[in-house]
């Protein structure tokens, strides 16, 4: 009963700022305690009361948005442990949607991408474990493991009736964020694929641009952000700034003054106004959406492909007294137009859906890239 009383106090503190009357709030707290007591006395199986409370806390956080979650002390410690060289991953960015784990994007040249995992897939089983009801971080924990070991994923995919099964071997995931090449019938278009926004992305990106400008007379650029799950806000701002002379890039708004900021472009368009086409899809999220949305709002680029994911929020990891932690949304991104990206994403100027079961990004089968190239010839 002591644990239940502590739990009730926790929930009382949690909801002190909610616009209930005091009587309504205390009634809710009493109801919560009553439910816990009935579970303890009447439920068919013995239950771990600590696990029930962890689930209740996590339920509160997940009711806020798909990205907020609770980490028990064990999980929090594990998430903070440096596992380089010991544990491997699959190469996917995941989120939650209606209590189900959803693939935001597979990362290029990783085990998940090579196995055929796609943006928008729903993971329903990890090994023999049902994912329904688990938190996002619990799902991440299940997918981690020693390098070289395999894991079975059961996937539900839109427009396919039967579940799909994949066996994937874990590897150390090392992402080279920028790759580039000359494309087009006349070999005069600069193609830059940006896979993530990590610490050195802006330097790699600018290096590719400068090399293109030296080598040949570039007519324009195709910037490929498909399946880019995002990354560092500072990198998104720096790379967007390459293409703008002035104006707002993005703003963040939170409850704290420190989380409410605006970021502006500095003078100087690195490609001197040359035309730009940006490719996005359902796997383009967060920093990718800031980049694409800002260039669209400033009419600096044509956005082509499919609607982006819609992750327009910033999370912070907050340690708790019990040794655990919470991942909590503290602010949201807003485009120069004032629109929020959250749950909406960026709508392309030209909708081009990927075609064919054998579609692979940046190959001859890539109808979206082929369409972008044709735009420069029209």
Indicate the SS3 state at residue 311.
coil
Phi and psi, residue 135, nearest 5°: -80, 165
Of 278, 314, 297, 294, residue with least CA distance to 193:
278
- The DSSP output letter for 197 is B
Give the pairing of strands 302-305 and 69-71. Answer: unpaired
Tell me the helices (H) and strands (E) count for the chain, helix number first.
10, 19
Is the Cβ–Cβ distance between 240 and 269 less than 8 Å? no
Is the Cβ–Cβ distance between 305 and 280 less than 8 Å? yes
Please give the Cα distance from 290 to 239 (Å, whole number).
Answer: 10
Work out the angle at residue 223's Cα, subtended by the Cα atoms of residues 260 and 268, and round it to the nearest 5 degrees.
Answer: 60
Please give the Cα distance from 258 to 3 (Å, whole number).
Answer: 36
Of 335, 357, 338, residue with least CA distance to 346:
335
User: 105 has which bridge partners?
Assistant: 93
Q: Which residues contact 44 (CB under 8 A, 6 or more apart)?
A: none
Q: Which residues contact 54 (CB under 8 A, 6 or more apart)?
A: 70, 72
Give the pairing of strands 276-280 and 220-224. Answer: parallel
Please give the Cα distance from 176 to 144 (Å, whole number).
Answer: 21
Look at the block and give the residue holding tokens 């996937």: 155
Please give the Cα distance from 266 to 264 (Å, whole number).
Answer: 7
Catalytic site positions: 286, 297, 311
Phi and psi, residue 214, nearest 5°: -80, -40
33-70 per-residue burial string, b: 16 or more CB within 10 A, e: under 16: beebeeeeeeeeeeeebeebbbebbbebbbeebbbbbb
């Amino acid at each position: 009963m002591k644990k239940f009383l502590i739990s009730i106090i926790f929930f009382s503190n949690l909801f002190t700022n909610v616009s209930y009357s005091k009587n309504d709030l205390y009634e809710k707290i009493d109801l919560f305690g009553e439910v816990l007591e009935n579970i303890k006395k009447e439920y068919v199986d013995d239950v771990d009361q600590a696990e029930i409370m962890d689930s209740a806390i996590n339920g509160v956080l997940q009711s806020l948005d798909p990205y907020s979650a609770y980490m028990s002390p064990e999980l929090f410690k594990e998430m903070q442990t440096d596992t380089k060289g010991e544990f491997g991953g699959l190469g996917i960015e995941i989120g939650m949607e209606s209590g189900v784990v959803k693939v935001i994007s597979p990362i290029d040249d990783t085990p998940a991408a090579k196995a055929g995992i796609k943006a928008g897939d729903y993971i329903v089983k990890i090994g023999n474990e049902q994912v329904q009801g688990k938190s996002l971080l619990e799902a991440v924990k299940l997918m981690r493991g020693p390098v070289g070991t395999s894991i079975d994923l059961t996937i539900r995919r839109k427009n396919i009736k039967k579940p799909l099964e994949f066996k994937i071997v874990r590897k150390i995931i090392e992402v080279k964020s920028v790759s580039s090449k000359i494309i087009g019938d006349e070999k005069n278009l600069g193609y830059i694929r940006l896979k993530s926004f990590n610490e050195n992305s802006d330097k790699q990106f600018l290096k590719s641009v400068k090399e293109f400008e030296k080598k040949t007379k570039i007519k324009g650029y195709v910037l490929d952000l498909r399946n880019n799950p995002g990354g560092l806000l500072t990198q998104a701002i720096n790379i967007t700034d390459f293409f703008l002379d002035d104006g707002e890039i993005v703003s963040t708004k939170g409850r704290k003054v420190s989380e409410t900021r605006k970021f502006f472009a500095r003078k100087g368009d690195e490609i001197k106004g040359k035309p730009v086409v940006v490719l996005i899809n359902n796997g383009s999220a967060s920093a990718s959406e800031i980049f694409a949305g800002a260039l669209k709002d400033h009419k600096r680029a044509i956005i082509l492909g499919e609607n982006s994911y819609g992750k327009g929020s910033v999370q912070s990891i907050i340690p708790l007294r019990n040794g655990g932690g919470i991942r909590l949304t503290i602010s949201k991104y807003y485009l120069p137009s004032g629109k929020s990206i959250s749950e909406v994403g960026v709508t392309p100027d030209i909708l081009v859906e990927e075609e064919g079961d054998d579609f692979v990004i940046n190959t001859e089968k890539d109808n979206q890239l082929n369409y972008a190239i044709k735009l420069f010839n029209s």
